[in-house]
Amino acid sequence: MANGRYAFQALVRNDVASAVKMFRDESGKNCPMLDYWLGYILMQAQPPNKDTVTGAKLMEQAAKGGYPEAMYSTGFMYLNGLAVNKDEAVAKQWLLKAGKAGIPTAYTLLGNADDKGNPTQAATYYQQAVDLGEPVAMYHLALLYRDGRGVTKNNGLSTDLLIRSSQLNYAPAKQLLNAKGK
């Protein structure tokens, strides 16, 4: 794990090539966090360090190893077909695991996935994220309450959620409140 520390330091210096080399030296040593970071770097880096296929495999390996951020990222990859075949069912499985592991944005992403087709389920996911203090979910749940989609229309609750989201500096909530004159 010592190389892992130096790899992070190389990242801070923006020395991606050195970071990738050091993370590769540590990869496969039963450390999901290091696999996650190597996968993340390989997916985000510019050529010649970019390798989305290997990055996606490492990301999923880290997710299977129990690393919550990797669970979220793996779900995101499958939901959007990034370096893997798009598969909403697999995406939702990973996002649910990430949410249960304490990643509130996983519930928000699940809500977004269901917002148009199943707003009742979306409201449930958004509420789970709201319960964890996630401002984007507060905004989206507010819109559902405002419009009465998937939930009983409730302008008071909608406004309360917008205010909470705005207080957490979510710009669209602030803009909507300003447009409402609140």
Q: Quick one: what percent of the chain has pLDDT higher than 90? A: 74
Structure tokens at 77: 């990859």
Q: Quick one: what percent of the chain has pLDDT higher than 70? A: 95
Q: Of 50, 8, 44, 3, give the one whose Cα is nearest residue 25.
A: 3
pLDDT of residue 84: 96
Contact 140, 115 (CB under 8 A): yes
How crowded is residue 25: how many other Cβ atoms within 10 Å of its Cβ?
15
pLDDT of residue 15: 83
* Section 7-15 average pLDDT: 80
Task: Report the alpha-carbon angle 27-31-32, nearest 5.
Answer: 95
Contacts 24+ apart (CB under 8 A), 55-62: 55/83, 56/82, 56/83, 56/84, 58/27, 59/35, 60/84, 61/32, 61/35, 62/32, 62/33, 62/35, 62/36
* Section 18-47 average pLDDT: 82
Structure tokens at 178: 């300003």
**Confidence check: pLDDT of 4 > 80:** no
Q: Where are the domains of the chain?
A: 1-97, 103-182
Distance CA 44, CA 24 (A): 16
**Confidence check: pLDDT of 27 > 70:** no
Domain 1-97: CATH class, spelled out: mainly alpha
* Section 2-17 average pLDDT: 76
Contact 89, 97 (CB under 8 A): no
Q: Do domains 1-97 and 103-182 have the same CATH topology?
A: yes
Least confident of 6-10, 76-80, 123-127: 6-10
Phi, psi of 46 (to 5 degrees): -90, 155
CATH architecture type of domain 103-182: Alpha Horseshoe (1.25)
CA 107 to chain centre: 9
Contact 159, 176 (CB under 8 A): no
37-95 residue pLDDT tens: 889 989 988 888 889 999 999 999 999 999 999 999 999 999 999 999 999 999 999 99
pTM higher than the cut 0.75: yes
* Residue 2 confidence class, pLDDT cut points 50, 70, 90: low
**Confidence check: pLDDT of 13 > 80:** yes
